[in-house]
Amino acid sequence: MTHRLSDELICPVYRLQNIIGGKWKIIILYELSTQTRRFNELQRSIPGISKGILTQQLRELEADHMIHREVYKEVPPKVEYSLTTLAQSFIPIIQSMDEWGRKYLES
Amino acid sequence: MTHRLSDELICPVYRLQNIIGGKWKIIILYELSTQTRRFNELQRSIPGISKGILTQQLRELEADHMIHREVYKEVPPKVEYSLTTLAQSFIPIIQSMDEWGRKYLES
DNA sequence: CCGGATCCGTTTTGATACTG
DNA sequence: CAGTATCAAAACGGATCCGG
């Protein structure tokens, strides 16, 4: 997401949309909320996401200080993703979204 | 959003993403949370959104039973959008997102 | 084999003009 | 006023390639 919503906006919801607005970002944060994960592990846990877009959304979340990327200099490569404290403070909201979904969404 | 995430997924967060995943949907719900609005009024309250995409996202939210579209048969035309009770039950989550943004997002 | 980067096609969103 | 139509741009998806 290179394009961002207007900056001159008062409402925090607009700024938040710039952070979690990507198609998979809430899901990525949700998956990382229980445990640190490696790249391929994370991809397998999110059915339907492609490598390319996973990389991109992870980089954007990192730029927004929501995740931490830890690179281990090994062969084969090992990269672990985890939530920052900022993102951890957002997890309760994702949990309430999850609960709302359980309660109100059937299909 | 014609393309939807995999249906075979357990997690409600995935299904929720299909509903609120559009770029402007959370913002639309936020704007409608305080009052019923007409189309142009709604567009003016959301800087940066175009008519075309506003129409589309409103139609998708309507299909997901999140908003109600009331057409008055007048000249000039008058259409009012409001939240359904389903969407109203989701508003507390958007409010906590708003609070989170106020607390943690500076820029 | 792991974690990407790159290229390219499809989907979603944006901007503007036009209509009943 | 509340859209629709059209075309352009941006985001996303799939496949392949690559260094370590």
Per the structure, the complete domain to which residue B38 belongs is given by: 7-106
Give every CB contact of residue A53 below 8 A, 6+ residues apart in sequence.
A23, A24
User: For chain B, what is the domain count?
Assistant: 1
**The pLDDT of residue A7 is above 90:** no
Among the residues of chain B, which ranges form H helices? 12-20, 25-34, 39-45, 51-63, 85-88, 91-104
The answer to whether residue A1 is domain-embedded is no
Angle formed at CA A34 by CA A32 and CA A37, multiple of 5 degrees: 45
The answer to whether residue B67 is domain-embedded is yes
The answer to whether residue A99 is domain-embedded is yes
Residue of B nearest to A92 (CA): B96
| Cα→Cα distances A79→A22, A43, A74, B47, Å | 22, 13, 9, 39
**pLDDT, tens only, B26-38:** 999 999 999 999 9
Contact between A27 and B6 using a beta-carbon 8 Å cutoff: no
The answer to whether residue B98 is domain-embedded is yes
- Residue among B11, B27, B48 minimizing CB distance to A13: B27
The answer to whether residue B2 is domain-embedded is no
Query: What does pTM read for this prediction?
Result: 0.94
Contact between A6 and B48 using a beta-carbon 8 Å cutoff: yes
The answer to whether residue A28 is domain-embedded is yes
Please report, for the domain that includes residue A98, its CATH number.
Answer: 1.10.10.10
**pLDDT, tens only, A50-101:** 999 999 999 999 999 999 999 999 999 999 999 999 999 999 999 999 999 9
Q: Is A94:B8 a contact under the CB 8 Å cutoff?
A: no
**pLDDT, tens only, B75-85:** 899 999 999 99
- Tell me, what's the pLDDT at A11? 86
Contact between B19 and A105 using a beta-carbon 8 Å cutoff: yes
The answer to whether residue B27 is domain-embedded is yes
The answer to whether residue B1 is domain-embedded is no
- Measured between CA atoms, how close is B89 to chain A, in angstroms? 8
